[in-house]
Structure 1
Amino acid sequence: MGSVETRSELRCQTCWLRICSSGVNPQSLRGSNTGVYVGVTMYNSSDGYPDDVHPDVDGSVKTTLFQTLYCTKYLYPSRISFVNDFKGPSLIVDTACSASLSAMTLAYNDLMLGNTDAAIVCGTHMVFEPFINQVQQEFGICSPRGVSAVFDESADGYVKSEAVCAVFLQRRRNAHRIYAQVVSARMNIDGKKKVGMFHPSADAQEQLMRQSYMSAKIDPARLTYFETHATGTKVGDLQEIKAIYNAYCEGRTEPLPLGALKSNMGHSEAGSGVAAVIKVLIAFENQCIPPNLNLNQLKKELEIYFPPLLAVTKKYPYKPGLAAVNNFGIGGANAHVLFEPNHKLGTSDGLKIAETIPRIVNICGRTEDAVKYVMDFIQNNPKRVTNDFLALLAPVMRFTPDINSAGMPFRGSLGPFPFPPPPNGINDNKESVGQNQ
């Protein structure tokens, strides 16, 4: 019962933080036409529900209610919509390992059609059933060594991992903070295959990739980074690499770097799509693609595609450009999303206001540690406290008591800001944290 509550709370908290990261106060979205799209895969009845309910045993009925009703997938998005008072669509998407990127495709297209004003896309996967790991290892899906060696000659399956991740989608004209712009998001499915339902199809993935950039009228040669679904399985990696090569490498002269997040954190299954999107956004922000781990010797059957494909094995300096994220599920459902980075124009006076006008910075948080964390960040990173930073911080920290929300219980203030050198070695800076009663 505790694990059910923890899972639900973690999803709600993650979505709240993603909205704050965008420079939007979640309270301002209450009652809005915001959609919630959650990609999730669960193994039915694996929690071991009791055979009988005993009404005369204290807590038996309540425990069974939690195990049955509260474990159902349809409450995953509904709980997020309930807590935040969102009025838009609220649904789960289960296409196996491509679930969260499929959810992102639905969310993006609802925005484009005008069905929603904003959207939360969440991917979640938690492993509470050890016997499933054992069965999949015995069947050859998961690595018996527990090593995720994507693209490597020694690859022998994937390693399960956990993720609770989310992104917040808005129309560009309404956005306060933009990490990237979605330019295309599409899905398809393999259909009937002679090799069997569970065998990935290079042809179907290639077709989807071509449809994605053709519908957006994008030259495939513009692609500068491809984040693969690659898991380390014997069949899946080869099929995906074939599709990428055929769709994006015809006449290509520049190398196309490939990312493989699952080599870094394992396969978070239904959460892997959104996790890969977040990796791309981090690469945009830091202008660096992180290395793929455990890649020592490229698989022989992949060598003919490298180059122009490039396996990233060390930190790769990266000038942000068009990027793709690919996802496919064991049932044959594929999802493909293209992103453009948000090229920010730097200004010479970015620190002008922060450097010249002392001020009190008001901060709120769910815990005292959260408030102090923001305080420490401001004090220790003066070059990052720009006009943009302050403009984003102010609305997120603003509390509106007439909205049906308790707000953040802990408040603090920091100032005067910026901090002048203390006279005679005495620190006159004021800092306080208190709990709102």
Structure 2
Amino acid sequence: MVDDDERRWRHFNPEIPKRFGKISNLEKFDATFFGVHFKQAHTLDPQTRILIETAYEAVIDAGINPKSLRGTKTGVYIGSCISESEKTWFYEKVSSGGFGITGCSRAMLANRISYTLGLEGPSFLLDTACSSSMYALDNAFSAIRNGEIDAAIIGGANLLLHPFVTLQFARLGVLSQDGYCRPFDKDACGYSRSEAINCLFLQRKRDAKRIYASVVYSKTNCDGYKPEGITYPSGNIQRKLLLEFYKEIDLTPNDMGYLEAHCTGTVVGDPEECKAIDSVLCSQRQEPLLVGSVKSNIGHSEPASGICSLVKACFAFETGLIAPNINFTEVKRTIKALAEERLVVVKDVTPLPKPCIAVNSFGFGGANAHAILKAHPKSKVNYGIPEDNLPRIVTWAGRTEDAVNEIFNGIEKKPLDAEFIGLLQNIQEEEVTGMVFRGYGIFGNNGNQPTKSLVRNVQHYTGLKRPIVWVFSGMGSQWNEMGASLMMIPRFRQSIEISHNTLVPKGLDLINILTSNDPAIYENILHSFVGIASVQIGLTDVLRSLNLEPDFIIGHSVGELGCAYADGGVTAEQMILAAYCRGRVSMESKKIRGGMAAVGIGYRAIKNLLPEAIEVACHNSADSCTISGPIDEVRRFVAELKSKDIFAKEVPCSNIAYHSRYIASMGPQLLKYLKEIITQPKTRTAKWLSTSVPRSEWEQTENKLCSAEYHTNNLLHSVLFEETFAELPKNALTIELAPHGLLGAILKRSMPNGVYIPLTHRGNKNNALFFMTALGK
């Protein structure tokens, strides 16, 4: 703000104007995050501290993770003149470790950015007085065009920390005593000094993810010798710069929609600049040229003023509106171009008539700069609002909980913008060290209305890296409409359509099986097998499309088909056909009328209690197992267990005693079918931990293959889930891939120090949102 408070110094000298521009929070700096030693941080020029922050922000704003720039040919070009903190750390408070030199040397304004971000392109300070940051642009632009660098951070810095510098400017006669800057105005009598620190990120257009404007061209020159003195602006040399500039490009002065002038409100500077503009640009135009100067709004930030003008131009492109000059009442009639309205001052918010903006910047030593920016021609489709109704998930990490919520709150202020969401996701695609709070938000599509978060969660991140386990559960996870809402996820739907088309020749309508509300749909065991398998294929494909990979894979019963697919042992088509065959054999084979039941004690405790006719089909955990046998025997034993206050409950199994001797007749036929599907068995990777082969037999050659024999054995023998699960790391993150989180209770009890996340939930009408919430977790 430009005001007259005494934050910087007391008003002790009437020669020093009371009003000048000040920025806030100079004392704030996250030294730990930026890797600056605390002793160095205290002796660091505040300009350097804030430049590091704004450079980092500029890269983030471009949609780029700063980590990705490390080791690249990215240049840093900073415009700055005077370090008003030098006096303190060089001459008054000399630090014992020499930190004053490394903290206040002006070379460090650029070099410290390169050091912090790991940039290996050119890095230097430019001092051409008030045109310094425009010279930074010119150097970066030329270096990119010449192939010297791939990208650049350009910046400008100006802080007013010592009153005697302002006193010198006042005695030079360039300051407005009342502290108001009035470019082009009849009452203009000098400028008000101002602070500003800002950075822009320059890239080649083909590499850019976010474009505010394109730099068309930049050029500089110098006044050289002038009889009036070094600080007197030369309109003739400025005119020469403009003439040469427009001869070297395809654009003409008539293409300009607006010119951001250097005009600072000084008695000599404004007339000389306007005269040069009039002579070169207005003379070649059919209509008046709109002009303005950001100095009226924020004061003159001297070496940083060029960047401020560029930022103003970017805002004009972004909004389509030119910010007005303030402190303006009537043009200075002695400036002919203004009086005759060949130059028209923007005094109200005005639409930008053409997509080109020219920017002037002049130093008081005669260093002149001119550049043209052009609007990005590509407009957002439908303002970024998605055409689908799929919510968007954003994961974000920050130094504080508020920092994460600030991003989420910002998203909620506007309609859902898919392009912006994509930009945010790209920024933190790689982990950013030091971000100790992590969160996710899921945002719905409300059309033209601001979006709202459907789910939001932010937590402190301990830094603990958990191994990831994918768990594929089996029969019992099916339910009506279990795939309906998931079909809105494009990658999931694509997977289901592949499985659907694979089963069409078999006479099955998979999409109907997954979306039907018919309560009898899963009374057909064949439907259960293909339904569960197709959902597991779809969920696996979605996770893979997000580059989420497991460290371990484990399956329960038929869930080992999911392991085979996730491990690369079979294709999606092979997996769905294998599941079909398992169901087909279950329906075709002759067998006893069997039953199965879940029991609340483990294999070790129950094995001595079992009647001879019943077997333990599944070793689930230390306090859970599934028994299998003739239905009457199973019902009798369930009643007996209940009488002893032991949990026991029959489970739907289509009267088939799976994983027991009673289905031995199914083996040969299943093996025959599977051999027709899995013709060239692949070796299982170390990620896949078998639950159908005892640990002592894992290294046997036949058990290392994802073969027809392996999956036939899976059907016929007990599920050794408890024993295999014990092989996993005790702090793992287990993700259950199934139509329903069937094994949640077992997994939580078996791994109390781990984290369990199901991807779906039985009966949930919006499993797409449930799935996204699981992703966020």
* TM-score normalized by the length of structure 2: 0.51
1:20 is aligned to 2:60: yes
1:351 is aligned to 2:359: no
The offset of 1:430, in angstroms, is 2.5
Q: How does 1:128-147 map to 2 (within 5 A)?
A: 128-147=161-180
- The 1:196–1:378 alpha-carbon spacing in structure 2 relative to 1, beyond 3 Å, is same
Q: Is the 8 A contact 2:400 2:436 kept in 1?
A: yes
Match of 1:307 among 326, 341, 344: 341
**Residue in structure 1 matched with residue 430 of structure 2 by the alignment:** 399
The offset of 1:407, in angstroms, is 4.8
Residue by residue, what CA displacement relative to the aligned partner does 1:16-69 show, whole Å, maximum 9, x if unpaired? 11111111111111111100000010168862566688xxxxx8524xx33334
Q: Is the 8 A contact 1:35 1:90 kept in 2?
A: yes
Partner secondary structure for residue 429 of structure 1: strand
**Residue in structure 2 matched with residue 167 of structure 1 by the alignment:** 200
**Residue in structure 2 matched with residue 216 of structure 1 by the alignment:** 249
Match of 1:91 among 118, 124, 127: 124
Q: Is the 8 A contact 2:290 2:345 kept in 1?
A: yes
**Residue in structure 2 matched with residue 202 of structure 1 by the alignment:** 235
Match of 2:444 among 414, 418, 421: 418
**Residue in structure 1 matched with residue 461 of structure 2 by the alignment:** 436
Q: Is the 8 A contact 2:77 2:136 kept in 1?
A: yes
- The 1:308–1:66 alpha-carbon spacing in structure 2 relative to 1, beyond 3 Å, is same
Tell me the amino acid that sits aligned with residue 357 of structure 2: A
Partner secondary structure for residue 131 of structure 1: helix
**Residue in structure 1 matched with residue 352 of structure 2 by the alignment:** 318
Residue by residue, what CA displacement relative to the aligned partner does 1:138-163 show, whole Å, maximum 9, x if unpaired? 33221111111111121111111111
**Residue in structure 1 matched with residue 262 of structure 2 by the alignment:** 229
User: CA–CA distance in 2 between the matches of 1:50 and 1:207?
Assistant: 42
Partner secondary structure for residue 38 of structure 1: strand
The offset of 1:74, in angstroms, is 0.6
User: CA–CA distance in 2 between the matches of 1:233 and 1:316?
Assistant: 25
Tell me the amino acid that sits aligned with residue 435 of structure 1: H
Q: Is the 8 A contact 1:15 1:166 kept in 2?
A: yes
Q: Is the 8 A contact 1:184 1:213 kept in 2?
A: no
User: CA–CA distance in 2 between the matches of 1:66 and 1:145?
Assistant: 39
User: CA–CA distance in 2 between the matches of 1:80 and 1:93?
Assistant: 15
1:340 is aligned to 2:374: yes
Q: Is the 8 A contact 1:184 1:216 kept in 2?
A: yes
| 27-36 vs 202-211, greater mean Cα deviation | 202-211
The offset of 1:391, in angstroms, is 1.9
The offset of 1:344, in angstroms, is 2.2
User: CA–CA distance in 1 between the matches of 2:147 and 2:247?
Assistant: 22
Q: How does 1:24-173 map to 2 (within 5 A)?
A: 24-42=64-82, 47-48=87-88, 60-62=95-97, 65-173=98-206
Partner secondary structure for residue 68 of structure 1: helix
The offset of 1:356, in angstroms, is 1.3
The offset of 1:359, in angstroms, is 4.0
Tell me the amino acid that sits aligned with residue 252 of structure 2: D
Once the two structures are aligned, what percentage of the paired residues are identical?
Answer: 36
Partner secondary structure for residue 44 of structure 2: helix
Match of 2:289 among 239, 246, 256: 256
User: CA–CA distance in 2 between the matches of 1:428 and 1:378?
Assistant: 9
Partner secondary structure for residue 381 of structure 1: coil
Tell me the amino acid that sits aligned with residue 302 of structure 2: E
Q: Is the 8 A contact 1:180 1:340 kept in 2?
A: yes
User: CA–CA distance in 2 between the matches of 1:345 and 1:196?
Assistant: 49
- The 1:118–1:349 alpha-carbon spacing in structure 2 relative to 1, beyond 3 Å, is closer
1:390 is aligned to 2:417: no
Q: How many residues align?
A: 416
The offset of 1:217, in angstroms, is 2.4
- The 1:33–1:429 alpha-carbon spacing in structure 2 relative to 1, beyond 3 Å, is same
Tell me the amino acid that sits aligned with residue 294 of structure 1: N
Tell me the amino acid that sits aligned with residue 421 of structure 2: L
Q: Looking at both structures, which has the greater relative contact order when contacts are Cα pairs under 8 Å and sequence separation is at least 6? A: 1
User: CA–CA distance in 1 between the matches of 2:238 and 2:213?
Assistant: 24
- The 1:430–1:345 alpha-carbon spacing in structure 2 relative to 1, beyond 3 Å, is closer
Tell me the amino acid that sits aligned with residue 8 of structure 1: T
| 196-205 vs 303-312, greater mean Cα deviation | 303-312
Match of 1:273 among 287, 290, 306: 306
Q: Is the 8 A contact 2:383 2:417 kept in 1?
A: no
Structure 2 runs not aligned, ≥5 long: 1-40, 447-451, 463-777
The offset of 1:198, in angstroms, is 1.0
Q: Is the 8 A contact 1:221 1:252 kept in 2?
A: yes
User: CA–CA distance in 2 between the matches of 1:226 and 1:213?
Assistant: 14
Tell me the amino acid that sits aligned with residue 199 of structure 2: A
Residue by residue, what CA displacement relative to the aligned partner does 1:79-110 show, whole Å, maximum 9, x if unpaired? 00001000100011000100000010000000
User: CA–CA distance in 1 between the matches of 2:360 and 2:224?
Assistant: 18
Partner secondary structure for residue 325 of structure 1: strand
Match of 1:331 among 331, 349, 365: 365
User: CA–CA distance in 1 between the matches of 2:174 and 2:83?
Assistant: 16
- The 1:373–1:158 alpha-carbon spacing in structure 2 relative to 1, beyond 3 Å, is same
Structure 1 runs not aligned, ≥5 long: 54-58, 421-426
- The 1:320–1:156 alpha-carbon spacing in structure 2 relative to 1, beyond 3 Å, is same
User: CA–CA distance in 2 between the matches of 1:60 and 1:388?
Assistant: 49
User: CA–CA distance in 2 between the matches of 1:228 and 1:255?
Assistant: 15
Q: Is the 8 A contact 2:389 2:445 kept in 1?
A: no
Residue by residue, what CA displacement relative to the aligned partner does 1:273-311 show, whole Å, maximum 9, x if unpaired? 011001000011111111111111211211444411101
Tell me the amino acid that sits aligned with residue 112 of structure 1: R
Residue by residue, what CA displacement relative to the aligned partner does 1:207-235 show, whole Å, maximum 9, x if unpaired? 11122222112222111110011111111
**Residue in structure 2 matched with residue 424 of structure 1 by the alignment:** none
* TM-score normalized by the length of structure 1: 0.90
1:245 is aligned to 2:272: no
User: CA–CA distance in 1 between the matches of 2:295 and 2:146?
Assistant: 33
The offset of 1:387, in angstroms, is 2.4
**Residue in structure 2 matched with residue 408 of structure 1 by the alignment:** 435
The offset of 1:397, in angstroms, is 2.1
Q: Is the 8 A contact 2:157 2:196 kept in 1?
A: yes
Q: Is the 8 A contact 1:287 1:320 kept in 2?
A: no
